Amino acid sequence: MTNALIIEDHAVVRMGMGLVIREVLPNASIFESEDFNDGLRIAKERPIDLVILDIHVPGGQDVKMIDMIKSANNATKVLVFSGLPEEKYALKYIQAGADGFLSKRSDPEMYGEAVTAVLNDQKYLSETVREQLMTELPQSFAKIRRRRWIGLTDRELEISRLLIKGLWTKEIATHLELKLSTVSTFKKKIFRKCGVSSVIELSRIIDDVAEPTYS
């Protein structure tokens, strides 16, 4: 059974997105929060599979919200759902680790498609944004393609680079203020995604990937 969490301060939007989730996942358990801090609490207390996140929700902290949710449960998928211009904000949030960016101005038929995509481990961006990245931001798009090819988030890239520098798991946990078990989980996922079994093998792959950019 899928657990979904909608973090959105407008009740009518939460209700509408809840209907979308029910249509795609009839047996899903849906939780709601009208502010980010309460939503984060729920994400920490329950095994949430999908978070629908509004950017301007009360208590929000811009792109930092993505990492905070992922730190609570790295397996959680985050779909940003915003009324802000996607051509200006989509790339920023995808680079921060979001699994998709869905504009509230999109055709409602795209809502279910976006939810399904991120739950199936796919990045979701509208065709408009994809075309924009291809024509106006070729260098940024190249970075996204390389990251998607390897499948690492910015946090995973950061930990990868620390591993390559020779830091032990415990040292990385202290440096990033994360739990030791969290870093160990990240390390296993990094090795699995990259198809390697050692830090030496990992270094050969990461060297060709652009440094993560934080806003």
SS (H, E, C) the chain: CCEEEEECCCHHHHHHHHHHHHHHCCCCEEEEECCHHHHHHHHHHCCCCEEEECCCCCCCCCCHHHHHHHHHCCCCEEEEEECCCHHHHHHHHHHCCCCEEEECCCCCHHHHHHHHHHHCCCCECCHHHHHHHHHCCHHHHHHHHHHHHHCCCHHHHHHHHHHHCCCCHHHHHHHHCCCHHHHHHHHHHHHHHHCCCCHHHHHHHHCCCCCCCCC
The pLDDT tens digits of the residues spanning 21-43 come to: 999 999 999 999 999 999 999 99
- Residue 154 is predicted with a pLDDT of 79
Q: Work out the mean pLDDT of the chain and round it to a whole number.
A: 85
Mean pLDDT on 137-162? 65
pTM, 2 dp: 0.64
* Full set of structural domains in the chain with CATH: 3-135 (3.40.50.2300), 149-206 (1.10.10.10)
